[in-house]
Amino acid sequence: MAEVSVLDYGIGNTGSILNMLRKLRVAAEVSSTRASVCAAKRLILPGIGAFDACMEALHRSGLDGCVAEFAASGRPLLGICVGMQMLTLGSEEGDRQGLGLIRAQTRRFAASAGLRIPHMGWDAVRWVMEEHPLAANLRDASRFYFVHSYRVSCESPGDVLAACTYGEEFAAAIARDNIAGVQFHPEKSHRFGLQLLGNFAST
């Protein structure tokens, strides 16, 4: 049985994530049916592009309720990039509601002189919850690859797992109970991304 399932709802870097997990020798699979999501041990929710397009694709797939049920079961759930934003209540980028699994809003970076949007490239993160399983063997010098124009703002500071600064400090990762999200792309972040995905596979 797969240790990690990657949700395929038509949007997301499922292939790249699977390749990274295979490098770690983690048994992984793509899940695109209700039955496979229900049977998953750990679930990754990927996402790229626009928030509304991702939420619409998830709804159209019929798997949005499955993700909510999976989260309620207490099993580990990880959102990546827009997948992390989908865990929130909603986004300024569109009109659709998010999954609402973590009380947060997704907002556009504030306009600032000299600040290029999107925030793109490698950047260091600061681990706020150093004892969280996803942060194991990662230090503040760890660098991850970002591509995003919107950032998550949590209602509770206690839900911020890691922070990054780009004009302003924002949540690079969030977590509450069994649910977590990362704004960066671990599948594009070489050894740091491998470590984080390995940590997730061990939760």
List the catalytic residues.
Answer: 81, 185, 187
- Tokens 């309720």: give the residue: 65
> Where would I find the beta strands (DSSP E) of the chain?
4-7, 28-31, 43-45, 77-80, 90-91, 104-108, 119-124, 126-127, 143-148, 150-154, 160-166, 168-176, 179-182
- Tokens 């159209």: give the residue: 60
Q: Are 151 and 106 in contact (CB under 8 A)?
A: yes
Q: Are 42 and 76 in contact (CB under 8 A)?
A: yes
